[in-house]
Chains A and B, each alone.
Chain A
Amino acid sequence: MIEARNLVKRFRDRKRGMVTAVDRIGFSCRPGEIYGLLGANGAGKTTTMRMLATILEPTEGTAIVAGYDVAKEPGKVRSSVGFLSTATALYARLTAKEMVEYFGRLHGLDEFTLHRRIDAIFERLEMNDFRDRRCDKLSTGMKQKVSIARTLVHNPTVMIFDEPTVGLDVMAARTIAGFIRECRDQGKTVIFSTHVMSEVEKLCDRIGIIHGGRLMAEGTLAELRDRFHLHDLEDIFVQVVEP
């Protein structure tokens, strides 16, 4: 479960002065549901996702993620969350297995559980061919799989995906999309940010449109279509951000 309560993030920018990147955002996402945060570049998606993953601290407001308060128990939140974005790179000089092992250990798994889980994940994602290959020698698709394995090693109940398909080719993007669906089917709480309309249409159960740091509209795709009397999500998006 994710419950964002009036999340605010302000930071000081040398050129622009005080900037409010996220302005009183509130929404909730239930287990077994994919919540899509749709917004243009600079809308505040990444900042919101980072606050949910406790990489950034909210200036005001808070969020309850997997039952823990992001402001009060960030460590426990991170233990329950799998976070994946295009910015979360791999350690080039570690092998695929070492990379996943490292994160499993940091999540406090004992060696027996860790290796059982790694074996299961590597089997499931068909990673055994390159498990001992260094990450810098892997193809983009293989790297994606390692990243997925890294987010899954501690069996998190909440998955946060921040524009996970940016810069990926069709095949790699499909792997990610399939993985996101699978997480939902397993009953995990999934939040997913993107600026690609088609991804949202295909994947998300509920959609939040974010613009200028504020949540402008929220609902299922059907609800949004009804409310704005438009069919195409892109048209709806434009209507919302430029009324």
Chain B
Amino acid sequence: MSLRNIGIVYRKELMDSLRDRRTVVSMVAVPLILMPLLTIGVGAVLVNQVGHAMEEVPTVMILGGQDSPIVTAEIEHLNEVKIVPASPDYADKISNKQIRAAVAIPPGFDAKLAAGQPMTVKIYMYEGEMKSGFGADRLQKFFRDLRDKTVQENLKAQQLPESLIRPFDIRQENVAPAEKVGGAVLGGIVPYFVILLCLTGAMYPAMDLTAGEKERGTIETILCSPISRTHLVLGKFLMVLTASIATAVLSLAAMAASFSVGKKLLLGVAHGAVDSAMQITISGKGIASIFFVVFPLAVFFSAALLAISLFAKSFKEAQSYLSPLMIVAVLPAVAALLPGVELTTAMSLVPVLNVSLVSKEIITGTYHWTFIALIFASSSVYAAIALAIAVKLFQREDVLFRT
């Protein structure tokens, strides 16, 4: 094994790639420009939307209630909602966002309330639509308050203590610090980004250094130099790995920087609503641990992409091989975001998914060292296999001179 020769190839490929606009764009410009734009941009839009929705006075409709003037008047006097005249197509109007919600007051509501007869108030809303949800919440709050007030009055009239209806209170107390709560929200997304960026960062150089060389006719030139093909592929592999890691590191740095800037910018607007979600502090130990598990994955991606693109005759053909692969690789990373997908011994062996799951835990401050070791080992095995395949393919004439 000649480290000198591998080094010569690596240095040349690095210099060559840094002069290539497309590599520089995917390795440096995308992380440093796109990441802050995405983080701050999406955050700003989100905060803005939530803010607007919260500020809006929802338009609601009262259905029925002609025989119950007391309750109708109380709703009409609410500041938090705007009442529009009732119409039978209220469901369509909610769907079309002309009104946010509607409340159906049962016949004889006032009288039944006074008599203590059971009844149901129906609130119509559009599930999943934020503004409709806010409208419905305000109506629900009004009726809940009315119910509580009625209960209290009834108890008072009967001279019964309030504790009769509410013998004890229940309250959930959070013991996790704010950053852990935030970590849980963002914890899944960060590893997903890191994995995705390791892959996209490796993609372009992998194609350029193999299929690209074939297309440009430089592969024959380099093959007639005395360097062994193993050294050649290892030098190229190191370059792809560098691009992969550089993309991920630069993106993470850009994301972290935009988080800290974005937090200050956005929190003023959101009145602390997104405070806990944005409070993500990853310790040095966390970053080191994530890179420890991500590194073999980056090796695996780099070697696999190199092997696959080597097989292609041209850059275009390589692209058509790698694009579907991107989905295959990203799916397990997304799966880790699903609720209920937990880290187990079996999961530790599933490539990509294992790294995604363990990174999520590391970000929230949980270190399962056995799993971390197992994931590092299994990822290293996959990486070694992919690299061995890439080296093997580089020895094959039918692959190098595929026509």
Contacts and interface: CB of A to CB of B under 8 A. Distances in A.
Contact of A102 (B12, B20, B397, B401): B12
Interface string A112-135: 000000000000000000000010
A81 interface: yes
A78 B224 contact: yes
Given A78-B226, A79-B226, A108-B226, A102 B8 contact: yes
A171 interface: no
Given A12-B398, A102-B8, A106-B8, A93 B221 contact: no
A88 B217 contact: yes
Given A11-B397, A87-B217, A55 B224 contact: yes
B26 to A, nearest CB: 16
Contacts of B19: 93, 134
Contact of A56 (B12, B218, B228, B397): B397
Interface string A70-89: 00000110110101010111
B218 A89 contact: yes
Interface in A41-60: 53-57
Specify the main secondary structure of chain B where it touches its partner. Answer: helix
A56 to B, nearest CB: 6
B96 interface: no
Contacts, number: 63
A57 B397 CA distance: 8
Given A11-B398, A94-B16, A53 B8 contact: no
A106 B221 contact: no
A87 B220 contact: yes
Interface residues of B, number: 22
A90 B221 CA distance: 8
A87 B228 CA distance: 20
Interface string B226-242: 11100000000000000
A107 B16 contact: no
A103 B225 contact: yes
A166 interface: no
Contacts of A12: 398
A225 to B, nearest CB: 35
A55 B229 CA distance: 10
Given A11-B398, A12-B398, A106-B5, A91 B225 contact: no
Interface in B6-48: 8-9, 12, 15-16, 19-20
Nearest to B21: A93
Contact of B220 (A55, A76, A78, A93): A55
Interface of A: 11-12, 53-57, 75-76, 78-79, 81, 83, 85, 87-94, 98, 102-103, 105-108, 134, 150
- Ranked 4 nearest A-B pairs via Cβ: A89-B217, A83-B224, A88-B221, A78-B226
22 contacts: A11-B397, A11-B398, A55-B220, A56-B401, A75-B226, A76-B226, A78-B226, A79-B226, A85-B220, A88-B220, A88-B221, A89-B217, A89-B220, A90-B218, A92-B216, A93-B19, A94-B16, A98-B12, A98-B15, A105-B8, A108-B226, A150-B221
